[in-house]
A and B are shown apart, each in its own frame.
Chain A
Amino acid sequence: DGGITQSPKYLFRKEGQNVTLSCEQNLNHDAMYWYRQDPGQGLRLIYYSQIVNDFQKGDIAEGYSVSREKKESFPLTVTSAQKNPTAFYLCASSMGRAGNTIYFGEGSWLTVV
């Protein structure tokens, strides 16, 4: 768990702005993920990537974009098209392939003001 670093921990965004959340891992994991958590709700998958330069949409990808230019990095951009972006965002990683343990970063709180 300690090998996944998210920044910033707290972020305020004005309406109409794009913001980028950083996620870096030093676990040499192949797969990385972004989840969104709303109060009292479970975790919903936004995007995931199993290999460099490739990524797949999760259940709630609309209004978000990602890139995977390096194995250790998987930044998430919350665009102005995301109508309700206030949430807790969790980055995670795993060795990849179904059935491998997924470990989470400490999360980033995004608030729209």
Chain B
Amino acid sequence: GENVEQHPSTLSVQEGDSAVIKCTYSDSASNYFPWYKQELGKRPQLIIDIRSNVGEKKDQRIAVTLNKTAKHFSLHITETQPEDSAVYFCAADQGGGADGLTFGKGTHLIIQP
């Protein structure tokens, strides 16, 4: 089955700086790569996703890049703000038509004032 590795586990950046979180996946048949943000004690919420037919997608301060050859994808947050502090999870679909997502273990992003 799919295996997703996520790094770093904790990331501390100064407010206003950029943050980058990286993920790798194992199943070359995976085609869908969402990113979720989870605040303490709350549900994960989708913030951006990318499909295998594009290499980059941007939504205001958030962007995701995908390299299918290398099987890795990254989340980029620019001009970080205190409300960006949360745990971020990357995920990949199972590939081969199977349902469900496989998640990375999460990155705790801390925005320092």
Contact = CB atoms under 8 A, between A and B. Distances in A.
Interface in A39-98: 40-45, 48, 50, 56, 58-59, 90, 94, 96-98
A35 B105 CA distance: 13
B63 to A, nearest CB: 18
B34 A101 contact: yes
Interface residues of B, number: 28
B100 A90 contact: no
B34 A42 contact: no
B102 interface: yes
B106 A99 contact: no
A98 B93 contact: yes
B1 interface: yes
Interface string B69-106: 00000000000000000000100011111111111111
Identify the interface centre among B31, B43, B99, B104: most chain A CB within 10 Å of its CB: B99
Contacts of B104: 42
Contact of A41 (B97, B101, B105): B105
Contact of A98 (B89, B94, B103, B105): B94
Contact of A90 (B1, B31, B44, B93): B44
B31 A98 contact: yes
Interface in B16-73: 31-32, 34, 42-46, 49, 51
Contacts of B99: 31, 33, 48, 50, 56, 94, 96-98
Given A45-B101, A98-B93, A98-B96, 6 more contacts: A48-B100, A98-B31, A98-B98, A102-B100, A103-B46, A105-B43
Interface of A: 1, 31, 33, 35, 40-45, 48, 50, 56, 58-59, 90, 94, 96-107
